């Protein structure tokens, strides 16, 4: 807080600032203290497990994200809560399985093709942080509701500068179905420029502004890159094609879009350093699901990609940086999920979570402390429309090395042992009936839990 900035002015100033700040904190019910870190949560959109240099890509350069990976702890077994956008974002901001807060699928413009409605009673991460004295902001893609009461400023964010909707049809015009979903708070805006550059600039402006304040901040920075359309600035494509001999045009465009986002993340990190707040800032980086194979994504050695319950659809890059707290270059094979970020951030901010969540804090592991492996099953759930899904669900679960999945609502369940078969090539559902019956019974219970939660707005539920 402010008294750190005043240390150089002498002990008397520090004491006065401490007393005044403490009095204000008591008066306004704040719980932050001098050790409370700023928090920056960066989320890529559809970034494949193998689409970073640090995760094995050989035709791609991601120096800024790689620097984050090496500056803190990298998780090798981190999973998005769903193989598509909205549900994973719901898990990040609620600490719950997405279907338990009404977001089993993608929220879209048209009601007949929208498969989620964020529970208005869900306790959001920014709400808890605000109560603890943080200033909270989202700069980037929201994708958890287009209408009241599920817009960012109504769900705990002090500041919103970004995009309400799902994908954009164009990175420069920022429209979806001809509708402009760009907002600053509740006001429609129509900025000029590439979306990645806009989000980066707005995030840097926010950091610069908050660095002058005496309260910590939470910045949620969800880029919409490298989601389709694969539309990087032309000069970035030219750079990749000039460097990578023989690279396919499709792959070159995706690599360029990722490298462009990486450059933006580097700008944000430099702003943290230049404003003097980097040393007391916790930075988290991940992706909302796996890469989309049809546009040239690389999910490393994993099977399949975005939309799929195979590993390539749900396993994602993940790293956490906290200078002086998390050892540089550390690594963990602990299983984590997006919903675990919620309690981890709360623990770092000194907040006790008193309501029920499904996520479990991985902060002790990040800090290098002993943390026994979680004795828990983890579940994945998605509801979707169209002929491929028919409004039904696909599901998966993991128990230790065992994974059960149904990748189409019209296909049978499959069983794999990920330790022996990490590429999910040998279905054991018929050879190991005991394990199959055991896991499928547990999966049905989770499906029943989700089935009890409404996932359409009240007005839609009343339509006959």
State residue 88 phi and psi, 5-degree precision: -65, -40
Whether the pLDDT of residue 30 is over 50: the answer is: no
Taking a C-beta distance cutoff of 8 angstroms, is the pair 43, 221 a contact? yes
Percent of the chain with pLDDT over 70: 92
Can you tell me the mean pLDDT for 105-114? 97
Q: Is residue 432 pLDDT above 60, yes or no?
A: yes
* Three-state SS annotation for the chain: CHHHHCHHHCHHHHHHHHHHHHHHHHHCCCCCCCCCCEEEEEEECCCCCCCCHHHCCCCCCCHHHHHHHHHCEEEEEEECCCCCHHHHHHHHHHCCCHHHHCCCCCCCCCHHHCCCCCCCCCCCHHHHHHHCCCEEEEEEECCCCCCCCCCHHHCCCCEEEEECCCCCCCCCCCEECCEECEEECCEECCCCCCHHHHHHHHHHHHHHHHCCCCCCEEEEEECCCCCCCCCCCHHHHHHHHHHCCCCCHHHHHHHHHHHHHHHHHHHHHHHHHHCCCHHHEEEEEEECCCCCHHHCCCCCCCCCCCCCCCHHHHECCEEEECCCCCCCCEEEEEEEEHHHHHHHHHHHCCCCCCCCCCCCCCHHHHCCCCCCCCCCCEEEEEECCHHHHCCCEEEEEEECCEEEEECCCCCCCEEEECCCCCCCCCCCCCCCHHHHHHHHHHHHHHHHHHHCCCCCCHHHHCCC
Confidence band for 462, pLDDT divided at 50, 70 and 90: low
Q: Is the dihedral of CA 271, 275, 276, 282 positive or negative?
A: negative
Q: Mind listing the pLDDT tens digit for each residue in 400-430?
A: 999 999 999 999 999 999 999 999 999 999 9
Interval 37-54: pLDDT, tens = 999 999 999 999 999 999
Residue 263, classified by CB atoms within 10 Å of its CB into exposed (0-12), middle (13-18) or buried (19+), is middle
Per-residue pLDDT tens digits for 364-376? 999 999 999 889 9
> Which residues are within 8 A (CB) of 387 and not within 5 positions of it... i.e. 6 or more apart?
none
Q: Which residues contact 121 (CB under 8 A, 6 or more apart)?
A: none
Distances (CA, A) of 350 to 105, 129, 278, 415: 32, 10, 19, 40
Whether 390 has a pLDDT exceeding 80, the answer reads: yes
Question: Is 75's pLDDT higher than 80?
Answer: yes
Judged against a pLDDT cut of 80, whether residue 212 lies above it is answered with yes
Digit-coded pLDDT (tens) for 264-302:
999 999 999 999 999 999 999 999 999 999 999 999 999
pLDDT at 374: 87
For residue 34, what pLDDT band results from cuts at 50, 70 and 90? low
The pLDDT of 312-322, averaged and rounded, is: 98
pLDDT over threshold 70, residue 6: no
Mean pLDDT of the chain: 93
Q: Would you state the pLDDT for residue 31?
A: 53
Distance from the first to the final alpha carbon of the chain: 55
* Contact status, residue 304 vs residue 310, Cβ threshold 8 Å: yes
In the chain the domains, ranked by start, together with CATH numbers, are: 1-30 (no CATH), 36-366 (3.40.720.10), 378-461 (3.30.1120.10)
The answer to whether the CB of 330 falls within 8 A of the CB of 74 is yes
Sheet holding 402-406, edge to edge: 378-383, 393-399, 402-406, 414-417
Higher per-residue confidence, 165 vs 16 = 165
Residue 388's alpha-carbon distances to 115, 189, 383, 407, 411, in angstroms, are 14, 36, 11, 11, 11
Q: In angstroms, rounded to a whole number, what is the distance separating the alpha carbons of residues 69 and 330?
A: 9
Q: What is the pLDDT of residue 63?
A: 98
């Amino acid at each position: 807080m402010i008294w750190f900035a005043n240390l150089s002015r002498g002990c008397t100033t520090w004491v006065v600032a401490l007393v005044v700040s403490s009095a204000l904190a008591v008066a306004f019910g704040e719980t932050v203290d001098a050790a409370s870190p700023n928090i920056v949560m960066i989320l890529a959109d559809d970034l494949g497990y193998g689409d970073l240099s640090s995760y094995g890509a050989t035709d791609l350069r991601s120096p800024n994200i790689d620097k984050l990976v090496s500056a803190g702890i990298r998780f090798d077994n981190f999973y998005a809560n769903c193989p598509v956008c909205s549900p994973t974002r719901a898990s990040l901001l609620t600490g719950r399985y997405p279907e338990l807060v009404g977001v089993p699928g993608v929220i879209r413009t048209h009601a007949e093709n929208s498969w989620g409605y964020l529970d208005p009673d869900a306790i959001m991460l920014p709400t808890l942080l605000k109560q603890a004295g943080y200033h909270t902001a989202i700069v980037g893609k929201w994708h958890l509701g287009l209408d009241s009461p599920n817009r960012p400023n109504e769900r705990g964010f002090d500041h919103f500068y970004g995009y309400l909707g799902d994908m954009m049809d164009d990175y420069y015009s920022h429209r979806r179905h001809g509708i402009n979903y760009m907002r600053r708070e509740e006001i429609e805006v129509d900025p000029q420029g590439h979306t990645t550059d806009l989000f980066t600039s707005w995030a840097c402006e926010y950091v610069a502004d908050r660095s002058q304040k005496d309260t910590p901040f939470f910045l949620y920075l969800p880029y919409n890159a490298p989601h389709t359309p694969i539309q990087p600035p032309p000069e970035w494509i030219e750079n990749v094609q000039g460097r990578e001999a023989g690279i396919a045009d499709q792959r070159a465009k995706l690599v360029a879009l990722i490298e462009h986002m990486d450059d933006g993340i580097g700008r944000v990190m430099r702003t943290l350093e230049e404003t003097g707040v980097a040393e007391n800032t916790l930075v988290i980086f991940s992706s909302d699901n796996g890469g989309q194979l049809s546009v040239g994504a690389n999910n490393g050695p994993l099977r399949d990609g975005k939309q799929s319950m195979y590993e390539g659809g749900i396993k994602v890059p993940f790293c956490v940086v906290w200078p002086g707290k998390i050892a540089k270059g550390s690594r963990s094979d602990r299983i984590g999920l997006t919903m675990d970020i919620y309690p981890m951030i709360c623990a770092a901010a000194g907040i006790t979570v008193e309501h029920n969540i499904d996520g479990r804090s991985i902060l002790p592991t990040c800090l290098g402390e002993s943390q026994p492996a979680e004795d828990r099953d983890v579940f994945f759930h998605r509801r979707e429309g169209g002929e491929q899904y028919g409004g039904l669900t696909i599901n998966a679960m993991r128990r230790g090395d065992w994974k059960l999945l149904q990748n189409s609502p019209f296909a049978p369940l499959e069983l794999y042992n990920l330790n022996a078969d990490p590429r999910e090539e040998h279905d054991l559902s018929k050879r190991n009936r005991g394990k199959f019956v055991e896991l499928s019974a547990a999966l049905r219970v989770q499906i029943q839990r989700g089935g009890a939660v409404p996932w359409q707005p009240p007005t839609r539920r009343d339509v006959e």
